[in-house]
Amino acid sequence: LLLNRKFDIRVFMLVASSNPFITYFHEAFVKLSIHPYDPDSTKREVFAANTAQSKDYFDRAKAGELIYGMNLEELYDLQLWDFERMQKYLLEQGKITDPNWLENYLYPQF
């Protein structure tokens, strides 16, 4: 969980060759659910970071309604992170200790 929300990591990979195995990687983004995680919830959107499932909430925010105390711009800022923002958050929370965690751990996993 990030900020008590489910999230997914989006990346782009190109397999240029299978023999020899050659791949190219391009980082994309981290997408958080706008809904705080609640394991007892009956709402589907609480369990995924799917923008389509949250469309109604974004529409309501466009009309001026605050969603979880956030306006539309804040919802967009909450939902899409780059990898550096995720690393900074994890460092601040003490979840990781390596300030080069992306380069030393995450990227080599791809």
Residue 90 tokens, joined: 């994890």
- Give Dmax over CA atoms of the chain in angstroms: 54
Cα gap 10→56, rounded to integer Å: 23
Q: Are 85 and 101 in contact (CB under 8 A)?
A: no
63-107 pLDDT, tens digit each: 999 999 999 999 999 999 999 999 999 999 999 999 999 999 998
pTM: 0.81
